[in-house]
């Protein structure tokens, strides 16, 4: 692998990592702050992509469709929290898994009824549809670069929002002691409802902006669910910073794992086992830091 | 805190026991009906394929009229969810509980293999309308198991020949790392090398991952004459779009088995222009049978037929051969199997014959996407027969 190819692959890895961060960050919010295992996270990603497809087609404009889609997702999140999730805070993880697993089945059926089982695609907005020529035969779509930019902006907003605003303070307080926060006169129920809706919107938003490059198809949610959990667990539950570091690690390992040849005793280790590489990373990190890289441990 | 109390549990389980007793009682075979079972995916990623297969099959049987051979046709369905873990249970349900004469199933290869294992014990007649696992008509072949679709060996095999004919001799093969992908890759290599080509690298993406950027960069740096691939569904859309967006299409032409574009051409849009594929069916085939079939399908279901509908339709045509031979009495199993073994099917894909291992000997067509239409540009391979490695089936 020459230097230019290496550089491009590194860029691919970082770009993929940033996208993973965006998908996983909603999960780390809900999982880390509220203590709810939400395995329907992938479904929200899928719903987002389908929303993008129908709303952007409806309005005929990417940006309007995106805005409308985020609003719908926000309300969906609020409604789901009120209907189901608020009963789960004091229950054990198994019951949370059961309820959110049920949501996966419901959303998959609803998707089939409302949108059908076809594969769809969402056009890239004209403003971002060009590409940059990297080598004589390889170009890089501008949309992917824009996507990376959006992920970085979201990361900064989340970090500032949680560390340096009053709402962020309430969220963090609720995370360390729910009852005490309540006793101080903070409506923690409302804060949690907001956090859950934010998590849902983030998942849906990442589905929406991924839709133009990922296409829209029935099983798409399940694909991102597992890798999101890997990112969240490696980074440490509830840590935005951890999710970012872990997502970049996973993105780079996944990218290089697919193409690098590492020969051990005449057997091609990496490309053959690329599917395992990110899980191997997770296992190694958990061996030394069971709470994840930036996890606090309980 | 218990969610249900003991009394509710007992009441529920006795109701269940009653149900299963009733279905057992219904087991005694009525001879005034033909019992057909569908074991297909009706939910999940492959739901659309399952429905197309059932539609095609019903269309074929409908050609027999309301009461063929003085009998009614009873249909039984099991949703296999494309879940291999439930394959044995589901196959037992439809073969033993519903006691059907013939099972039409399924789409997913893993589920099909589980189903075939059960069919080997029960002796039930099985027609596979999609699942491509080579073993189904290879190492695991059985007298009572037939396939009306393809083996994974078939669709990528003719690609090498047409690529070398175009002077493209160095190629990379890309696919998902799973059973069907590996079988497609091995068969491509075999065909390409036999034609005088060289596979310089095989690139695998973990299934069902659709992040291809690393693969595309690798392709650009290795500069092959052409790229061949095996993808389907959402992954196929993304691969074709990413390939075009990376600017590779201009310098390195893309080939694939027909599943790359089947049913997803609209979603791929401009990115698919110029992509060349090989498949045993093309919706643009200009034969009378295909036109009549597409017209009838459109009328019956208000949608366009695809390759899966054709495979279901042919499963129906195959069963009709058996029904005609036995006057609608499928309990004459030897006669039914003999009829299906010698079958020549006048299919929308062109006439095909059943091979000794019970897989279609069929034409593979070359298609090229032009102006958003998958045009048939030739026949890549006439009467291609799967080598049926490991199958020692004797004709009955």
The verdict on ipTM greater than 0.90 is no
- H or E element in which residue B383 lies: strand B373-384
Give the closest of B203, B208, B223 to A223, CB-based.
Answer: B208
B90 and B50 inside one domain: yes
Say yes or no: B172 contacts chain A, CB-CB below 8 A: no
B217 and B144 inside one domain: no
How many domains does chain A divide into?
A: 1
- Are residues A139 and B245, on separate chains, in Cβ contact within 8 Å? yes
- H or E element in which residue B263 lies: none
Say yes or no: B285 contacts chain A, CB-CB below 8 A: no
Select the residue from A137, A148, A251 to test the B interface by mutation, using most B Cβ atoms within 10 A. A137
pLDDT confidence tier of residue B257, bands split at 50, 70 and 90: very high
Say yes or no: B252 contacts chain A, CB-CB below 8 A: yes
Q: What local confidence, expressed as pLDDT, does residue A29 receive?
A: 87
CA pair distance B106, A13, nearest whole angstrom:
38
CA distance B369 to chain A (A): 18
Structure tokens, B109 = 């290869």
The three state secondary structure string of A148-179 is HHHHHHHHHHHHHHHHHCHHHHHHHHHHHCHH
Average pLDDT over residues A65-93: 94
Average pLDDT over residues A156-177: 90
| CA closest to B224 among chain A residues | A137
- Are residues A138 and B217, on separate chains, in Cβ contact within 8 Å? yes
CA pair distance A76, A26, nearest whole angstrom:
14
For residue B144, is it within any domain? Answer: yes
Please list, residue by residue across B130-152, b when 16 or more beta carbons sit within 10 angstroms of its beta carbon and e when fewer do.
Answer: bbbbbbbbbebbbbbbbbbbbbb
- Are residues A223 and B45, on separate chains, in Cβ contact within 8 Å? no
SS3 B332: coil
What CATH number is given to the structural domain containing B217? 3.40.50.2300
B116 and B195 inside one domain: no
| Beta carbons of A253 and A278 less than 8 angstroms apart | yes
Average pLDDT over residues A212-229: 86
CA pair distance B66, B21, nearest whole angstrom:
31
Say yes or no: A38 contacts chain B, CB-CB below 8 A: no
pLDDT tens for B125-165 read 999 999 999 999 999 999 999 999 999 999 999 999 999 99
For residue A296, is it within any domain? Answer: no
Say yes or no: B44 contacts chain A, CB-CB below 8 A: yes
Phi-psi group of B274: left, alpha or beta (phi > 0 → left; psi -120 to 50 → alpha; rest → beta): left
Min mean pLDDT across A77-91, A167-181, B93-107 is at A167-181
Q: What local confidence, expressed as pLDDT, does residue A264 receive?
A: 64
- H or E element in which residue B381 lies: strand B373-384
Of the candidates A256, A258, A277, A280, the one whose C-alpha atom is nearest the C-alpha of residue A11 is A256
Q: Where are the beta strands (DSSP E) in chain A?
A: 131-133, 139-141, 263-264, 267-268
Q: What local confidence, expressed as pLDDT, does residue A15 receive?
A: 93
B210 and B135 inside one domain: no
- Are residues B206 and A131, on separate chains, in Cβ contact within 8 Å? no
| Beta carbons of B254 and B227 less than 8 angstroms apart | yes
Is pLDDT above 90 for B377?
yes
Whole domain around residue A202: which residue ranges?
3-288
Is pLDDT above 50 for B122?
yes
Is pLDDT above 60 for A160?
yes
- Domain finish residue from B279, B311, B344: B279
The 8-class DSSP code of residue A194 comes to H
Neighbours of B232 (CB within 10 A): 24
Select the residue from A98, A111, A259 to test the B interface by mutation, using most B Cβ atoms within 10 A. A259
Whole domain around residue B125: which residue ranges?
30-150+286-361
CA pair distance B94, B79, nearest whole angstrom:
10
pLDDT confidence tier of residue A268, bands split at 50, 70 and 90: low
B163 and B273 inside one domain: yes
pLDDT tens for B201-232 read 999 888 777 889 999 999 999 999 999 999 98
Q: What local confidence, expressed as pLDDT, does residue B7 receive?
A: 52
- The percent of residues above 90 in pLDDT, for chain B, comes to 81
pLDDT confidence tier of residue A34, bands split at 50, 70 and 90: confident
B56 and B158 inside one domain: no
Is pLDDT above 70 for B177?
yes
Contacts of B259 in chain A (CB under 8 A): none
CA distance B395 to chain A (A): 41
CA pair distance A267, A260, nearest whole angstrom:
13
CA distance A193 to chain B (A): 26
What CATH number is given to the structural domain containing A237? 1.10.3470
- Domain finish residue from B259, B279, B299: B279
How many domains does chain B divide into?
A: 2
Average pLDDT over residues B32-37: 93
Give the closest of B208, B213, B252 to A16, CB-based.
Answer: B213
pLDDT tens for A168-208 read 999 888 888 888 999 999 999 999 999 999 999 999 999 99
For residue B370, is it within any domain? Answer: no
Position with higher pLDDT, B113 vs B21: B113
Contacts of B221 in chain A (CB under 8 A): 1-2, 5, 135, 138
pLDDT confidence tier of residue B19, bands split at 50, 70 and 90: very low
B88 and B44 inside one domain: yes
Work out the mean pLDDT of chain B and round it to a whole number.
90
Q: Is B75 exposed, middle or buried (0-12, 13-18, 19+ CB in 10 A)?
A: middle
CA pair distance B211, A214, nearest whole angstrom:
8
CA pair distance B373, A91, nearest whole angstrom:
55
Say yes or no: B221 contacts chain A, CB-CB below 8 A: yes
CA pair distance A137, A145, nearest whole angstrom:
18
Structure tokens, B205 = 């993406």
């Amino acid at each position: 692998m020459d230097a230019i190819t290496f550089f491009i692959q590194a860029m691919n890895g970082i770009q993929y990592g940033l996208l993973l961060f965006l998908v996983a960050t909603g999960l780390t919010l809900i999982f880390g702050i509220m203590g709810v295992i939400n395995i329907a996270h992938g479904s929200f990603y899928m719903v987002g992509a389908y929303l993008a497809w129908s709303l952007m087609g409806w309005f005929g404009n990417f940006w309007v469709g995106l805005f409308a889609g985020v609003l719908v997702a926000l309300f969906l999140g609020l409604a789901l929290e009120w209907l189901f999730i608020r009963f789960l805070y004091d229950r054990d993880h198994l019951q949370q898994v059961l309820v959110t697993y049920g949501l996966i089945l419901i959303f998959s059926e609803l998707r089939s009824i409302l949108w059908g089982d076809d594969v769809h695609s969402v056009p890239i907005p004209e403003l971002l549809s060009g590409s940059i020529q990297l080598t004589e035969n390889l170009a890089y779509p501008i949309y992917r670069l824009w996507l990376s930019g959006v992920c970085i902006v979201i990361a900064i907003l989340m970090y500032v929002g949680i560390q340096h605003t009053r709402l962020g303070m309430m969220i963090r307080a609720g995370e360390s002691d729910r009852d005490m926060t309540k006793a101080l006169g903070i409506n923690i129920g409302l804060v949690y409802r907001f956090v859950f809706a934010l998590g849902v919107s983030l998942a849906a938003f990442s589905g929406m902006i991924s839709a133009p490059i990922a296409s829209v198809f029935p099983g798409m949610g399940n694909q991102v669910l597992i890798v999101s959990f890997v990112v969240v667990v490696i980074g440490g539950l509830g840590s935005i910073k951890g999710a970012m570091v872990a997502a970049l690690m996973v993105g780079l390992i996944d990218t290089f794992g697919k193409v690098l040849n590492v020969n051990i005793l005449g057997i091609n280790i990496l490309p053959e086992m690329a599917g395992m590489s990110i899980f191997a990373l997770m296992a190694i990190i958990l061996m030394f830091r069971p709470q994840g890289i930036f996890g606090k441990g309980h | 805190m218990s969610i249900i109390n003991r009394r509710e549990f007992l009441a529920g389980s006795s109701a269940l026991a009653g149900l299963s007793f009733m279905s057992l009682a219904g087991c005694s075979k009525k001879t005034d009906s033909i019992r057909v079972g569908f074991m297909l995916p009706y939910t999940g990623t492959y739901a659309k394929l399952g429905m197309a297969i059932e539609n095609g099959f019903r269309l074929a049987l409908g050609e027999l009229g309301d009461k063929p051979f003085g009998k009614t046709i009873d249909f039984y369905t099991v949703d296999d969810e494309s879940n291999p873990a439930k394959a044995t249970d589901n196959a037992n349900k439809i073969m033993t509980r519903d006691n059907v004469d013939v099972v039409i199933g399924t789409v997913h290869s893993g589920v099909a293999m589980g189903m075939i294992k059960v069919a080997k014990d029960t002796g039930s007649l099985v027609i596979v309308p999609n699942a491509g696992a080579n073993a189904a008509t290879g190492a695991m072949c059985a007298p009572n198991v037939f396939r009306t679709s393809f083996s994974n060996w078939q669709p990528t095999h003719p690609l090498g020949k047409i690529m070398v004919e175009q002077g493209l001799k160095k190629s990379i093969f890309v696919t998902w790392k799973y059973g069907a992908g590996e079988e497609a890759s091995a068969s491509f290599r075999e065909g390409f090398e036999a034609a005088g080509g060289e596979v310089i690298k095989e690139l695998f993406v973990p299934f069902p991952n659709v992040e291809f950027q690393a693969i595309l960069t690798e392709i650009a740096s290795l500069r092959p004459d052409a790229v061949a691939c095996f993808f389907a569904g959402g992954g196929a859309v993304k691969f074709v779009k990413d390939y075009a967006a990376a600017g590779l299409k201009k310098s390195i032409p893309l080939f694939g088995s027909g599943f790359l574009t089947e049913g997803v051409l609209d979603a791929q849009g401009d990115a698919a222009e110029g992509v060349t594929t090989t498949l045993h069916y093309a919706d643009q085939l200009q034969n009378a049978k295909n036109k009549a079939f597409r017209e009838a399908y459109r009328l019956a279901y208000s949608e366009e037929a695809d390759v899966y509908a054709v495979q279901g339709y042919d499963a129906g045509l195959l069963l009709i051969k058996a029904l005609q031979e036995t006057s609608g009495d499928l309990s004459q199993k030897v006669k039914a199997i003999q009829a299906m073994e010698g079958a020549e099917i006048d299919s929308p894909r062109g006439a095909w014959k059943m091979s000794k291992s019970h897989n279609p000997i069929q034409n593979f067509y070359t298609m090229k996407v032009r102006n958003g239409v998958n045009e048939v540009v030739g026949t890549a391979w006439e009467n291609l027969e799967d080598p049926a490695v490991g199958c020692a089936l004797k004709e009955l």
